[in-house]
Amino acid sequence: MPTAQQSTSEHSSSRRTVTECKPLIEAATKVIFRHNAFRITGLPVDATAREIAKHSDRLKMMEELGQGASAHNAAFSLDPPPSVDQIREAIQKLKDPERRLIDEFFWFWPREFGKSASDPALQALARGELQAAYDIWGSYENDPADGVVATHNKALTTQIIALDWEKIRAERDVDQKRAEDIEGYWRRSFKRWEKLVEDDRLWDRVAARIRQLDDPRLRTGFVRRMRASLPEALDKINAELALSYAQAGKVELARLHIQFMRETNQGLDNAEKTAELVLAPVKARLWEQIKRAEDKLRSAPSTGPQIAKQLLDEAEKCARLFDLFFTNDHEGRNDLFDEVAKVCNLLVVAYHKTTKDDTTCLAILRATLPLTTAIDLRELLEKNIQVFGGNIRLKEVDGVYVMLKSIQDADDSAQSKLDRFEKEAAPAIMKAAGIVGESASFVLLGGHSARDSELFNSAGVVLREISVEAWNNGRDAKTALRALELALQCARDTELRKRLEHDQQTLQRLIEQAAQEEVLRLAAQRREEEKQRNQKTAWVVGVGVVVILIIIGNLFSSDSTSPSTAPRTPPPPQSSSYTPPSGYNYTPPAQDNRNTYRVPSYISSELRRDKQAIEAQKLILTSLAYEIDSERQSLNRTSQWAIDQFNAKVEKYEEMRRSYNQMVDNYNEKLRRYGR
């Protein structure tokens, strides 16, 4: 059972078929007034055939003499002035009674036909005095007999001004004030046209004019058709403006004129049919392109992607236009774009048979799908999208496995392998699995990790081997830790994750042990170097002392002046506490060296050596303290040399005490880490 909307649409369509005035619909364009024969020639609408011929000859002569501009100084004169060809075409148009009547209808009427030469308003227009003419019409607009003429002329005035400004606005932007003025002109015109459409006085005057013309080719039935078609003709003017603005990318202006179409003459017009009429050329071009694509499908399947892309580009342009005028459930719109989608699918399938190019085919079908509305066609496209996407994914996954294998078997360093994994393998894995990124907590986003668990687990195994290799072959802690971190992000298998977590704990302990071992090794090295320097210094000092004593003995007597520097008193050695180790040793389990971390075995012996060094240093300090105390009692305070020697020994003691305390602190710190 048809809906109310369908019934109304069918009634309007039927009425249009029977009563449509084709010449009026054809004339109703955005340039209706610029092509008006009376505007081009400057003739009044009631000019006789003789007057037309005489005026035509005069205009042509003036145009040929280059004086055409002076003949067009009336209100609404065209700028630039019409050419000789335009004048000739306009004169020819006036010989067709139907086309003449329509141009008369859309130009200024005298208050009484046949008396334009004496009509005050039309004479004011001829002098270019538009406001004066407008005021004259306003003076009798409410007249019961002739007011319809004034309303008609005022409707034309505001509509012509609005259209002339639309021509300017299509070429350049206008300010907000001017835009508001243009909209005002349109609305004043619509207000009067809506009254005129149903005003019998208007149509009685048109019928009287037909009788006055007395042309057998023009009958009064033409008036009925004009009256029935006028609302849609007026809509068509705004529809064309909307289309031209939409094609120029001025969508807001396009929407404004579509709004005008829908607001005016409601119940008397059929805005949807008018939109179809305006879009008919656009639709025809797309159908022609569909036909050419079908021809290419049979003759050159290898060009399928290029043809499909051209067809889709044109369809997308059309879709934007159709979506401005119609809703998404418009039958004509959907049938057209479903046909586009069907042809694109055929082009893609034919192309794939010869090339196996899944990537290009997938891209085209994804662009096609949004245009499709038919359920069965959408299902077909979605199925083909899945097939092409699956093929691409299989190729990508196979490529990732090959890449992982090449990284695993490479002779490069562990760091080089990890760099290659991060730069090449990781992006490839994410692409193959459909991963779009990761969260702040390093959780992978998107994709199908469960579906690709085997791929992720394989990556985790390769990364674990890189970590083990980095530590065992070069003690590269940074690479080993980073590889394990990535491995844990990849691993999906529970047992693999447990193993990686255990590896992480083990590696952290080994890194800490290695750091402490390095500290102890450097400390031992520094002690050995200090010992060698001290031995060399002691020998040099001994020789120097003997020489100095001889010199001093010769220069000074035993009653020398008082020394300038007092002897220093060394502080007693501190008794820094430390806890001796209760025993430390770690033996790694016997496993394959490639898959285990090896623990250095010299840490416990190094601790013992360090303890012995601390005890020895303490004895030296104690002995040196007693020696200093003894020397203080017998120090020759009158000898500056003796005082300097004593103070040097005190400074040496203090330096050794600081070294001793540092050794104790280092030893205790190590015990806190490894002595448990």
Confidence band for 543, pLDDT divided at 50, 70 and 90:
low
Residues 198, 94 within the same domain: yes
Confidence band for 429, pLDDT divided at 50, 70 and 90:
confident
User: If we measure between CA atoms, which residue out of 466, 469, 459, 470 comes closest to residue 496?
Assistant: 459
Give the number of domains in the chain: 4
- Whether residue 653 lies inside any domain: the answer is yes
Q: Round to whole Å and give the CA distance between 111 and 136.
A: 11
Residues 525, 485 within the same domain: no
Q: Stretch 467-474: mean pLDDT, rounded? A: 90
Residues 128, 91 within the same domain: yes
Residues 163, 195 within the same domain: yes
Asked if 158 and 185 touch (Cβ cutoff 8 Å), the reply is yes
- H-only helix segments in 127-175: 130-139, 147-171
User: If we measure between CA atoms, which residue out of 24, 10, 12 comes closest to residue 271?
Assistant: 12
Residues 459, 521 within the same domain: no
Confidence band for 587, pLDDT divided at 50, 70 and 90:
very low
pTM: 0.59
Residues 482, 552 within the same domain: no
Please count the helices (runs of H) and the strands (runs of E) in the chain.
25, 2
Q: Round to whole Å and give the CA distance between 60 and 420.
A: 83
Q: Name 445's bridge partners.
A: 437
pLDDT of 9 over the 60 cut: no
Residues 557, 657 within the same domain: yes
- Whether residue 267 lies inside any domain: the answer is no
- Whether residue 263 lies inside any domain: the answer is no
Confidence band for 351, pLDDT divided at 50, 70 and 90:
very high
pLDDT of 354 over the 60 cut: yes
Q: Round to whole Å and give the CA distance between 607 and 620.
A: 20
> Could you read off the pLDDT of 588-632 as tens digits, one per residue?
333 344 455 543 444 565 676 677 678 767 767 776 776 787 778
pLDDT at 264: 84
Q: Stretch 135-142: mean pLDDT, rounded? A: 96
- Whether residue 100 lies inside any domain: the answer is yes
> Could you read off the pLDDT of 446-458 as tens digits, one per residue?
555 566 788 889 9
- Cis check for the bond before 80: say yes or no (omega within 30 of 0): yes
Residue 348 or residue 61, greater confidence: 348
- Whether residue 565 lies inside any domain: the answer is yes
Confidence band for 511, pLDDT divided at 50, 70 and 90:
confident
Residues 401, 287 within the same domain: no
Residues 47, 180 within the same domain: yes
- Whether residue 154 lies inside any domain: the answer is yes
Q: Please report, rounded to a whole number, the percentage of residues in the chain having pLDDT higher than 70.
A: 80
- First-to-last alpha carbon distance for the chain, in angstroms, is 90
Containing structural domain, residue 78 = 12-228
pLDDT of 31 over the 50 cut: yes
Residues 34, 92 within the same domain: yes
Residue 456 or residue 534, greater confidence: 456
pLDDT of 396 over the 80 cut: yes
pLDDT of 540 over the 70 cut: no
Residues 82, 219 within the same domain: yes
pLDDT at 593: 44
- Whether residue 239 lies inside any domain: the answer is no
Given 338, 373, 408, the domain boundary residue is: 373
Asked if 393 and 429 touch (Cβ cutoff 8 Å), the reply is no
Q: What are the distances in angstroms from CA 384 to CA 6, 310, 352, 361?
A: 36, 21, 11, 9
Q: Stretch 480-488: mean pLDDT, rounded? A: 92
The encoded tokens of residue 105 equal: 């209808």
Given 196, 228, 260, the domain boundary residue is: 228
> Could you read off the pLDDT of 362-376 as tens digits, one per residue?
999 999 999 998 999
- Whether residue 177 lies inside any domain: the answer is yes
Q: Burial letters for 489-505: b for 16+ Cβ neighbours within 10 Å, e otherwise?
A: bbbbeeebbebbeebbe
Q: Round to whole Å and give the CA distance between 608 and 231.
A: 109
Asked if 494 and 433 touch (Cβ cutoff 8 Å), the reply is no
Residues 366, 411 within the same domain: no
Longest CA–CA span in the chain (Å) reads: 160
Q: Round to whole Å and give the CA distance between 213 and 670.
A: 120
The encoded tokens of residue 543 equal: 């020789």
